[in-house]
Chains A and B, each alone.
Chain A
Amino acid sequence: MSMTEPWQKAEIPGPTKALVITKPEVVVAMVKKAKRPILIVGHEAAEVDVGDKKAIDYAIRMAEAGKIPVVATAHMIGEFNKRGFQSSSSMSAVDVANRLEDSEWKGLDGLGQYDLALFMGITYYMEWVILSSLKHFGGNLKTLSLDRYYQPHASWSFPNLSVGDWAQSLELIVNKLRGE
């Protein structure tokens, strides 16, 4: 099995495919390089186990470590609040993607458009088409999938990973963002 195949094998994207994140340090570098990163977290993040934690727990730690604003899609805002993370914004997946394609959008804080969107926890096939939209119409925006499965429409994506490797990668990203 090639490690860079789309998770759902029939989802063939076309000529432009995501660069594979072979080292989690790449994510750290991308976040640090970005002037305006944003983290978009879908409803599966509260359901998917990453070792003894949920994916949302890593999202929170990453957001705090990298000072990255968070958009909680679907009904996820409650999950963030429940975990004591009060600073996420609530917006649907299609709404936030739509705004990311608008060069005039002022962002969640009124300070302007974002240059790096990190995605986690949106259902694979829905995230697929959203990332495709951003690839085609997102202008200079770069996208990065933090999910466990290869998302070829992103600018960067993890390959298909075991849960253990995924957890290790997310842990490393959090720690590096904290400067540890």
Chain B
Amino acid sequence: MSKKNVVIKIKELKTDTALIKDLELRFGRVMEETWTEPVGPTPFPSITALREWDHKLLQRYKPFYMPYCDVCCLCTFGKCDLTAGKRGACGINMEAQQSRIVLLACLIGASTHTAHARHLVEHLINKHGAGYPIDIGGLNIEVEAPIARLVCGIRPKTLGDLEEVLDYCENQITNLLSSTHTGQEGSNIDFESKVFHAGMIDHLGLEIADIAQITALGFPKADPEAPLVELGYGTIDSQKPTILCIGHNVVPATGIVDYLKENGLYGEVEVCGLCCTAHDVTRYSPKAKIVGPISWQLRFIRSGLPDVIILDEQCVRTDSLLEAQKIKAPVIVTSEKNCMGLPNRTRDPVDAIVTELVEGKVPGVLILDPEKVGEVAARTAVKVAPTRKKFKVIPNVEDIIEGAKTCKKCNDCRRACPQDLQIMDAVAEAADGNLDALANLYDSCVGCGRCESACQVDLPLHGYIVKAGEKKLKEEKFKVRSGRGAIQDVEIRNVGSPIVLGDIPGVVAVVGCSNYPHGGKEVVEICQEFANRRYIVLTSGCAAMTAAMYKDEEGKTLYEQYSGAFEAGGIVNVGSCVSNAHIAGAAIKIASIFAKRNLRANYEEIADYILNRVGAVGVAWGAYSQKAAAIGSGFWRLGVPVIVGPHGSKYRRMLLGREDHEEDWYVYDARTGDRVSVGPAPEHLFYAAESKEEAMVMIAKLCMRPNDTTKGRAIKLTHYIDLHKRLYKTVPEDLNLFVRTEADIPITMKDEILKILEDKRWKEGRIPDPTLLPRMIRKRKD
């Protein structure tokens, strides 16, 4: 490990020629010497250290801004109208303002993950000591922290070593945030570079968080056969007291599991979760259950099944306390970041807290000690359950029919619905006693509850939809593979070559939140389509849960049908949001383990490698959050394109290449120094697709890389053309841009494609050893 802020003081130094008194030497950082890998050019990079790389990317993938509105309202000069070239009172224009908002979003995400990591690391150091050795995969993992190695140039060995990375993250986030103040950065392109930096910092935060929890909480360690765990409303035993944990920070949930185990109650009480805490509690204890993604919060609370609700941090509905009160379930908030206005009872005796919660004297409490949370939650659940009797606030059918008759037909419900669901029409049918139309809305409903807020007669419309869809809800019984964590080094060795050469057509990471345009089934279809085509499919977060929520004819979910190994045709759940680090880590490890590139503080070279060689694409079909934005921006800097669904267009900015700009697609041939046109591969860095069909075709297209061998390119083209023919009913019009030599043409389509190429006046090109970095040229052409 490196040492920071080393100070050497010498009171008096006598030499033959001089007498030196009070000499003080200060070193900002002393790097570890036992690691023989040379330190690359950018250890702990400052905000501008990778600016040139960012500008290279942004020159090719130019920002395409899509403002939500015309104004800036961030300071008291405002509101300022920035429409069509106008500047605000501070001088900012719309491009810079949009990139500033994108940066703010990514910083919210990066700070959230970093603060999450900081909490985990501090908690686990308190419990196990700073010297506790890191272990995320035993002998199967040598490169334990690829992102920290790449960015910081350090090799953490203990929990204590992780703190240095977090110190760096916090420093960078502070500096980046300061650049968004009025009258700081004025260039949209430099804001975009800072967005990339924020994303890179975010990935560090992710990695540190998951390393800490895998190491010290006994999660699966890079295990392709991590246990299959239960998921879905229908898996919760309604006869048992039930503790529901919502959020992303698993620490309080581990306190609950520990207490229940220690007191022989674990079989008696259900522990379940929503969102990423759910993933992580099943990584801690496979007997815990996942209810579902974030959009299940309202429906599950209102179902009355939870007897005690634990809120930690991130993506927790801010009205959870109000919803819990409706079903008379006590709430325990457990994070300084999310106190919900409740009194801090951390130092109070457990008996007193439990009594007050059970008797309903307080609706909830703040407890910042996870062990105390465990005891209070367990004892309260056991005592509350018999009196609550699963009290629910889902209306019955008669209430719906009567309520529907009072509808004013204002249509405000539909106009508030992010999905534009035809709620008013469904309510009208319900007034006639037919709930089918309401039931049909269930799958597409994202559970936001905006319809209820908009209703002029206060109908509990989300409750109507849930009641009408109750049969589906109760049948939700699925198996999902628990998050495995990192990808093993040996797996990387096995697939590194076929990925880089193109024999495995790509790595598709289906990640992110559940703000899907048409329900979760499209996520399942995307995963299955690409696994069947022998891509490697990775999942994480809410998307990993959604991928489990449909069964085949034999009653099996994707995770029961497909391998959990990082191999062609695998569907690999890495875990929660913070586990996305392992997806970036896998790409980085391909460069390191397979290609033997130095990782240490060598970001630019590795990103250049990934951009030009590793056919990986991220798909965040339901991305909604700032954290998702930050995760995406980390991938952009690393050269991995990201596709979002139509709601993702609201992130306000895409990074789009122009396949018709031939001059944008030149690389250097590292062997000769020649500039070689390689076509638009990959064409975009951040892209919003309108439909699932468009996304699927774009996934196949964005997996192409300049380094593909002819065999690999032919395989990738086969999938691109095949999907295009099936979903667009046509042959792609841009094949001439992706066929470099005749050998690239899929053999079964040769005649058809040659004819197209002839019409396009295609000329044969060549396959270089591609790089965007002049310094990587081994032999210059004079």
Contacts and interface: CB of A to CB of B under 8 A. Distances in A.
Given A123-B517, A129-B650, A135-B83, A94 B688 contact: yes
Given A15-B83, A135-B83, A74 B70 contact: no
Interface stretch (A27-35, A60-68, A76-84): A76-84
Contact of A129 (B68, B71, B412, B658): B68
B18 interface: no
Interface residues of A, number: 42
B77 to A, nearest CB: 16
B92 to A, nearest CB: 13
B69 A130 contact: no
Interface in B403-461: 410, 412, 415-416, 418, 420, 454
B647 interface: yes
Contacts of B71: 14-15
Contact-size category for B: 35 or more
A102 B65 CA distance: 13
A82 B728 CA distance: 11
A130 B395 CA distance: 40
Interface stretch (B289-297, B690-698, B713-721, B763-771): B690-698
B70 A14 contact: yes
B729 A82 contact: yes
A3 interface: no
A81 B729 contact: yes
Given A15-B83, A136-B83, A74 B66 contact: no
B84 A92 contact: no
Given A135-B84, A136-B84, A122 B730 contact: no
A93 B418 contact: no
Interface in A114-170: 122-126, 129-130, 132-133, 135-137
Given A8-B420, A42-B690, A94-B687, A15 B64 contact: no
B363 interface: no
B462 to A, nearest CB: 17
Interface in A1-25: 1, 7-10, 12-16
Interface in B626-659: 646-647, 649-650, 652, 654, 656, 658
B67 interface: yes
Contacts of B524: none
A77 B726 CA distance: 12
A95 B656 contact: yes
Interface in A81-112: 81-82, 89-90, 92-95, 97-99, 101-102
B94 A136 contact: yes
A73 interface: yes
B83 A14 contact: yes
B67 A75 contact: no
Interface string B66-109: 11111100000000011111000000001100000000000000
A10 B416 contact: yes
B78 to A, nearest CB: 12
A43 B691 contact: yes
Contacts of B410: 1
Given A9-B412, A14-B81, A133-B64, A74 B69 contact: no
Most A Cβ at <10 Å: residue of B66, B415, B730: B66
B689 interface: yes
Contacts of B94: 136-137
Contact of B649 (A74, A126, A135): A126
B649 A125 contact: yes
A125 B646 contact: yes
A90 B85 CA distance: 30
A117 to B, nearest CB: 15
B64 A12 contact: no
Contacts of A14: 69-71, 81, 83
B415 A74 contact: no
A9 B71 CA distance: 18
B66 A125 contact: no
A80 B81 CA distance: 40
Nearest to B81: A15
Nearest to A130: B66
B647 A125 contact: yes
A74 B730 contact: no
Interface in B587-634: none
Contacts of B727: 75, 78
Interface string B701-744: 00000000000000000000000000111100100000000000
A136 B730 CA distance: 34
30 contacts: A8-B415, A9-B415, A14-B81, A15-B83, A16-B81, A73-B690, A74-B689, A74-B691, A75-B691, A75-B727, A90-B733, A92-B689, A92-B690, A92-B694, A93-B688, A94-B688, A95-B656, A97-B64, A98-B654, A122-B690, A123-B690, A124-B420, A125-B650, A126-B646, A129-B66, A133-B64, A133-B66, A136-B65, A136-B94, A137-B94
Interface of B: 64-71, 81-85, 94-95, 410, 412, 415-416, 418, 420, 454, 517, 646-647, 649-650, 652, 654, 656, 658, 660, 687-691, 693-694, 697-698, 727-730, 733
Interface of A: 1, 7-10, 12-16, 42-43, 73-75, 77-78, 81-82, 89-90, 92-95, 97-99, 101-102, 122-126, 129-130, 132-133, 135-137
